[in-house]
Structure 1
Amino acid sequence: MITPAFELTQDPDFLTIIIKVPYARASEFDVYFEGEDFKFYAKPYFLRLTLPGRIVEDGREKASYNTDEGTFTIRLPKEVPGQYFEGLDMLTSLLAPKKSRSAKPLVEEIAASAELSEEEEEEEFDWEIEQTPYEESSESPPRLQHPYGFGNLRSGVFQRLQDELSDVIDIKDPDQTPAGERRRKRLEAEAAKFEPDHYLADFFEDEAIQHVLKYKPWWVDAHKKMTALQRESHQEHDTHTFVVFSEDEREQLRKFTNKSYLLDKRSRHHVYLGLIDILLAYCYEICVNEGDKNVESSWNIRKLSATLCWLESFSCIHDVLVSFGRRVLCYPLYRHFGLVTRALSDTAMILQLGKAAVLKCLLDIHKIFRESDPAYILNDLFITDYCIWIQKIKSKKLAALSESLQQTTLTKSHLGLELEELEAAAVLVQEEEDALKAAGTVSKQQLLPSESETSDSEGSSSTSSSETEGSDSDERESSTSEDGEINSFQGALEEERTAPLVACDGLRQGTGTSALGVSEETPKVPLQSVSLPGKLIEELEMQMHSAVRLSEQPEGLATASCVSQEQEGNPLPEPDRFSEDSAGKGVSWRCLQSQAHCFFSAA
């Protein structure tokens, strides 16, 4: 028998069942319904459903067949008009009648499903592989295998497939590694993988991250619509109105084998926490890729979920959030704490929307893993069971889980990566660099006006000196023309500007220190310190006249002597030519400086 494709809709008074049976004989079909049971048969199709509400046969039921589309449409009246049937989208849970709540059938059902999976693995067995006869050894007892997978119901899966599945999970030899050891190794791997430079780069240069954070997936609009309707009517609404399954998703639901799960309280707790962990990784993937899928989608989801990558079993919601936050900051391309908080809010929205929204996300994950080799093994370990299990739980459970998730706080300090200290140090360095840049800018701005002031002062001084030098310019020209060369001492004029003023007796003016001692021990006084250059010139001229007897002939200079130099026995250097203007005044400053150097500099 073939299970046909079907879907269910409802209005306040009727339940409508649409069954697709192409190539069936429309004249040969049977329909049976009573209470919660519904049966349909049209060779070779057979459909048996357990409805979430009761229907009644009162003459208002109708059935029609569309030959072009090959579909039966059956309208059945509700026993209680206005009653809302919850879970009409949960097609897998509707396929078979409800099982007994006793432990024995549940155990048998799980065992039967395990046998079926083992038979499927045996059918794919390579018969050409070299075999070794099995020898039972009494010396080594059987090794203890630690469970994992959905509800920790699996074990021994990776014992033979470790080499092939090394790219799927990070834990080595999970069958022989207890849960505590897995957690310890996971934390060590995350601490070794964390890169402060990568984190700081995304922290300071987050343009791309801020862009992807603006993306709004489908559950954002659905959550807004649900919240608006709840505010208007002040009552809860089923999410069937807001969550729509595609035909591919419906087909996948029909392919699942309906089964029940025998879970104790501790196992159910692990299942709920694992669901949060998987949804967080999925929300991150949808956000950073803005709803698109790529070759890295499978890697992102399983890498960010410690449930999938390390076969982790969490004990509280806070541990789930800490694990997810650490893995976001260690492994993917975008490592930003804002993406962690965004995934938290998205997961809370999905849980508030109910099991239909959660099932749609799980089906999308199932498709991503199904198309990725060898990640498909994660469907067998987790996702397929989650897709079947989620259809049978109540949405109120998920709403309570969402509320607990929203009440759990996660900060950067909880992640144990010293993010706040790292950010504070980086901010200090950035502030110092900004201060240095600002100081350099201010110094440049101050340098420009100071240079302009210097140029102005130099222009004024050059103007005054040009006036002084204008009167004796003829004398310098005549002196140069007579000697045939420029004064040999003029090359050291800039050095002489800083020479101290020394009296004829070899002492510095106003002091009792010799000129030689002053020149060797004390810094020279710059010429700019003299406020009245005109008086200085006259004073220097008087000192020179008192020390030297000038002759009108150039040879007279050769016989001139300085009192201090005669007493010290220092030879006199050959003076340069000295000339006066017609009034005996207006001596050139450069000429005076050169002559002062001639008389007062040490031999």
Structure 2
Amino acid sequence: MITPAFELTQDPDFLTIVIKVPYARASEFDVYFEGEDFKFYAKPYFLRLTLPGRIVEDGREKASYNTDKGTFTIRLPKEIPGQYFEGLDMLTSLLAPKKSRSGKPLVEEIDTAASAELSEEEEEEFDWEIEQTPYEESAESMLPLQYCYGFGNLRSGVFQRLQDELSDVIDIKAPDQTPVDERRRKRLAAEAAKFDPDHYLADFFEDEAIQHVLMYKPWWVDVHKKMTAFKGESHQEHDNHTFVVFSEEEKEQLRKLTNKSYLLDKRSRHHVYLGLIDILLAYCYEICVNEGDKNVESAWNIRKLSATLCWLESFTSIHDVVVSFGRRVLCYPLHRHFGLVTRAFNDTVMILQLGKAAVLKCLLDIHKIFRENDPAYILNDLFITDYCIWIQKTKSKKLAALSESLQKTTLTKSHIGFELEELEAAAVLVEEEERMLKAAGTVSKQQLPSSESETSESEESSSTSSSETEGSDSDERESSTSEDGKINSLQGTLQEERTAPLIDCNGLRQGTNTSTFEVSDEKPKVSLQSTSVPGKLIEELEKQMHTAIRLSEQPEGLAAASCILQEQEENCVSEPDGFSKDTTGKGNFLEVSSKANPLLLFCSTNEDED
């Protein structure tokens, strides 16, 4: 038999069931309903539902068949007019579970009025905390222990048959022989070793991409706003599910799931609820950073950020869940920012407040992501499929209490345990020091030209005074004075054109650090060095030159001079163009001029100074 596609809707007086049965004979179908049971048969389709409310046969029931669409539409009156049937979109839970063919089951799930009242009392007193007992070393058993994991810790021995794919699914080694406490210790040690302060600080200071993804609004944000506005206007809470709409693909997923019951004790229920929070946090992070799009890393992000999926962790408190998620966000994914932790936290609260329909929609999306990723599909068998079936039967009060407890939980950077606040403070101090040093360097560069000009003026005044007080003859004094004037003009020209490009003899650009030009006070000497143009050094100037010139920071004019001097060093006596004879008979001046910088050099003719 084939289970057909179906949908259920309601109004205050009627329940409407739409069943899609293409290629069925409209003349051969059978419908049976009584109380909470509904059965439909049209070869080869068969549908049996357990309704959340009672219906009655009083003559108002109607049925019609659309031949174009191949759908049966059946309207059934409610036994109590105005009664609201909850969970009509939980299609898997409506499918009647398969009955056992044995005479009597070994474990029977009883559903009596007394047990229902007891269950309601447990829901009201649900505090989301679990009693913790000190760890005690137990004696080693002769047989190897099999530790449980998976949904409600109901599985064991699964990874013994999947050793080859173990490392691609979870991080823990040998989970069947690793107890829960040891899993937690190993997980914390792995996170501490993986944390990278440089990566964290890089995302902390350069957060343009992160701020961009934080602006993305997933579908539950608008739905939550509509639900909040609706509650404020009508003061009704039972219509929350109407804001969450399942697609046809999601409905098909629900129909393919097998309905079954789960016998969980109190401790196991705590683990299941806390694991649900952990999985939803990882899913919200994935949706935010990829802005709702799926990629090849989606399955990795979800399972890596959830310690429940990656380390088979069993949490004992909501705070432990949130801290674990925060640590893993700052250790493993591409974007490691505390703002993403806060965003995922707020999104999870919204999803839980929307009710189990929104939670189920997220779980179905996770199920699809894992189903399309190899070998992440194993996590569907261990966790997600059971969560999809179990959440449909969960009481709305449980999820409301869970969302309220999660909302009251606080998470700060100090809870993470990586000294994040200290790292940020130290990084801010370093950044401020670098900014101050950079500002100081800029100020010194701006003051440099004025200081050089002042030095030049002082040197000029000192040279003038020394030339006036010198007791030499008038010819020497005139020569020295003209010489000083030309050299000072040379210094001013070089200082004004310090930023001009260097031009070599062939018109090519020269490097800025290839030559030095120094004149000392004690020994009037010129030192001209060039790494690009080799040649002799001009070592002596006339003794009457008393001016100290230091042009180590002005290589522009010197590069041109070095090139020209290379061509003129052998022709100093031949008086070529640019060489002028001194009328005093004391020596010859070589006047070298270029477009960029003029340069005046003196060649002595005294025999004792050659």
Q: TM-score, normalised by structure 2?
A: 0.70
Query: 1:147 corresponds to which letter in structure 2?
Result: C
Q: 1:29 to 1:427 in 2, by over 3 A?
A: same
Say which one has the larger Rg: 1
- Does residue 267 (structure 1) correspond to residue 268 (structure 2)? The answer is yes
Partner in structure 2 of residue 301 of structure 1:
302
Q: How does 1:377-526 map to 2 (within 5 A)?
A: 377-454=378-455, 461=461, 475-476=475-476, 494-495=521-522
Q: Helix, strand or coil: the match of 2:9? A: strand
| Whole-angstrom distance in 2 between the partners of 1:105 and 1:348 | 40
1:26-57, Cα deviation, whole Å (9 max, x unpaired): 01111122222211111111111111122222
Partner in structure 2 of residue 355 of structure 1:
356
Q: Helix, strand or coil: the match of 1:163? A: helix
Partner in structure 2 of residue 31 of structure 1:
31
| Whole-angstrom distance in 2 between the partners of 1:478 and 1:341 | 84
Q: Helix, strand or coil: the match of 2:164? A: coil
| Whole-angstrom distance in 1 between the partners of 2:520 and 2:56 | 122
Query: 1:85 corresponds to which letter in structure 2?
Result: F
- Asked if 2 retains the 8 angstrom alpha-carbon contact of 1:170 and 1:309, the reply is yes
Q: 1:392 to 1:492 in 2, by over 3 A?
A: closer
Partner in structure 2 of residue 42 of structure 1:
42
Q: 1:229 to 1:106 in 2, by over 3 A?
A: farther
Query: 1:437 corresponds to which letter in structure 2?
Result: K
Q: Helix, strand or coil: the match of 1:365? A: helix
Q: 1:441 to 1:41 in 2, by over 3 A?
A: same
- Asked if 2 retains the 8 angstrom alpha-carbon contact of 1:16 and 1:75, the reply is yes
- Does residue 338 (structure 1) correspond to residue 339 (structure 2)? The answer is yes
Report the Cα offset of residue 423 of structure 1: 1.3
Query: 2:234 corresponds to which letter in structure 1?
Result: S
| Whole-angstrom distance in 1 between the partners of 2:298 and 2:383 | 17
Q: 1:161 to 1:107 in 2, by over 3 A?
A: farther
Q: 1:105 to 1:93 in 2, by over 3 A?
A: farther
| Whole-angstrom distance in 2 between the partners of 1:257 and 1:292 | 29
Report the Cα offset of residue 159 of structure 1: 1.4
1:114-144, Cα deviation, whole Å (9 max, x unpaired): xxxxxxxxxxxxxxxxxxxxxxxxxx94321
- Does residue 91 (structure 1) correspond to residue 91 (structure 2)? The answer is yes
Partner in structure 1 of residue 236 of structure 2:
235
Partner in structure 1 of residue 224 of structure 2:
223
Report the Cα offset of residue 430 of structure 1: 1.0
| Whole-angstrom distance in 1 between the partners of 2:60 and 2:387 | 39
- Asked if 1 retains the 8 angstrom alpha-carbon contact of 2:459 and 2:547, the reply is no
- Asked if 2 retains the 8 angstrom alpha-carbon contact of 1:106 and 1:262, the reply is no
| Whole-angstrom distance in 2 between the partners of 1:478 and 1:200 | 69
Query: 1:382 corresponds to which letter in structure 2?
Result: F
Q: Helix, strand or coil: the match of 2:93? A: helix
Q: TM-score, normalised by structure 1?
A: 0.71
Report the Cα offset of residue 10 of structure 1: 1.6
- Asked if 2 retains the 8 angstrom alpha-carbon contact of 1:348 and 1:405, the reply is yes
Report the Cα offset of residue 12 of structure 1: 2.5
Partner in structure 1 of residue 127 of structure 2:
none
Query: 1:435 corresponds to which letter in structure 2?
Result: M
Partner in structure 1 of residue 16 of structure 2:
16
Report the Cα offset of residue 258 of structure 1: 0.6
Q: Helix, strand or coil: the match of 2:331? A: coil
Q: Helix, strand or coil: the match of 2:161? A: coil
1:377-435, Cα deviation, whole Å (9 max, x unpaired): 11111000000000001122111101111111111111111111111111111111111
- Asked if 2 retains the 8 angstrom alpha-carbon contact of 1:239 and 1:357, the reply is no
Q: Helix, strand or coil: the match of 2:53? A: strand
Query: 1:432 corresponds to which letter in structure 2?
Result: E
Q: 1:32 to 1:432 in 2, by over 3 A?
A: same
Q: Helix, strand or coil: the match of 1:291? A: coil
Partner in structure 2 of residue 322 of structure 1:
323
After TM superposition, the structure 1 stretch with the greater mean CA deviation from structure 2, 312-321 or 393-402, is: 393-402
1:428-471, Cα deviation, whole Å (9 max, x unpaired): 11111111111112222333443455556667x499769969xx
Q: Helix, strand or coil: the match of 1:40? A: strand
Partner in structure 2 of residue 502 of structure 1:
none
Partner in structure 1 of residue 176 of structure 2:
175
Q: 1:142 to 1:496 in 2, by over 3 A?
A: closer
Q: Helix, strand or coil: the match of 2:165? A: coil
| Whole-angstrom distance in 2 between the partners of 1:254 and 1:430 | 58
| Whole-angstrom distance in 1 between the partners of 2:522 and 2:65 | 116
- Asked if 2 retains the 8 angstrom alpha-carbon contact of 1:4 and 1:21, the reply is yes
Structure 1 alignment gaps of length 5 or more: 110-139, 481-490, 498-525, 529-576, 578-603
Query: 1:249 corresponds to which letter in structure 2?
Result: E
Q: 1:467 to 1:361 in 2, by over 3 A?
A: same
| Whole-angstrom distance in 2 between the partners of 1:241 and 1:335 | 36
Q: How does 1:109-258 map to 2 (within 5 A)?
A: 141-258=142-259
| Whole-angstrom distance in 1 between the partners of 2:322 and 2:339 | 13
- Asked if 2 retains the 8 angstrom alpha-carbon contact of 1:49 and 1:97, the reply is no
| Whole-angstrom distance in 1 between the partners of 2:436 and 2:12 | 71
| Whole-angstrom distance in 2 between the partners of 1:153 and 1:195 | 36
Query: 1:263 corresponds to which letter in structure 2?
Result: L
- Asked if 1 retains the 8 angstrom alpha-carbon contact of 2:227 and 2:243, the reply is yes
Q: Helix, strand or coil: the match of 1:89? A: coil
- Asked if 2 retains the 8 angstrom alpha-carbon contact of 1:107 and 1:262, the reply is no
| Whole-angstrom distance in 2 between the partners of 1:342 and 1:473 | 91
- Asked if 2 retains the 8 angstrom alpha-carbon contact of 1:220 and 1:349, the reply is yes
Q: 1:196 to 1:479 in 2, by over 3 A?
A: closer
Report the Cα offset of residue 107 of structure 1: 3.5
Structure 2 alignment gaps of length 5 or more: 110-140, 481-517, 525-545, 549-585, 587-610
Query: 1:439 corresponds to which letter in structure 2?
Result: A
| Whole-angstrom distance in 2 between the partners of 1:390 and 1:451 | 81
Report the Cα offset of residue 325 of structure 1: 0.7
Partner in structure 2 of residue 76 of structure 1:
76
- Asked if 2 retains the 8 angstrom alpha-carbon contact of 1:226 and 1:237, the reply is no
| Whole-angstrom distance in 1 between the partners of 2:422 and 2:105 | 57
Query: 2:37 corresponds to which letter in structure 1?
Result: D
- Asked if 2 retains the 8 angstrom alpha-carbon contact of 1:3 and 1:45, the reply is yes
Q: 1:326 to 1:106 in 2, by over 3 A?
A: farther
Identity of aligned residues (%): 86
Query: 2:420 corresponds to which letter in structure 1?
Result: L
- Asked if 1 retains the 8 angstrom alpha-carbon contact of 2:326 and 2:341, the reply is yes
Q: Helix, strand or coil: the match of 2:176? A: helix
Q: Helix, strand or coil: the match of 1:9? A: strand
Query: 1:38 corresponds to which letter in structure 2?
Result: F
- Asked if 1 retains the 8 angstrom alpha-carbon contact of 2:241 and 2:354, the reply is no
- Asked if 2 retains the 8 angstrom alpha-carbon contact of 1:106 and 1:260, the reply is no
- Asked if 2 retains the 8 angstrom alpha-carbon contact of 1:146 and 1:178, the reply is yes
- Asked if 2 retains the 8 angstrom alpha-carbon contact of 1:39 and 1:49, the reply is yes
Query: 1:86 corresponds to which letter in structure 2?
Result: E
Q: Helix, strand or coil: the match of 1:240? A: helix
Report the Cα offset of residue 168 of structure 1: 0.2
Report the Cα offset of residue 245 of structure 1: 0.8
- Asked if 2 retains the 8 angstrom alpha-carbon contact of 1:38 and 1:49, the reply is yes
Q: 1:44 to 1:99 in 2, by over 3 A?
A: closer
| Whole-angstrom distance in 2 between the partners of 1:376 and 1:478 | 100
Report the Cα offset of residue 82 of structure 1: 2.7
Partner in structure 1 of residue 277 of structure 2:
276
Q: Helix, strand or coil: the match of 1:269? A: helix
Tell me the number of residue pairs that the alignment of Structure 1 and Structure 2 aligns.
457
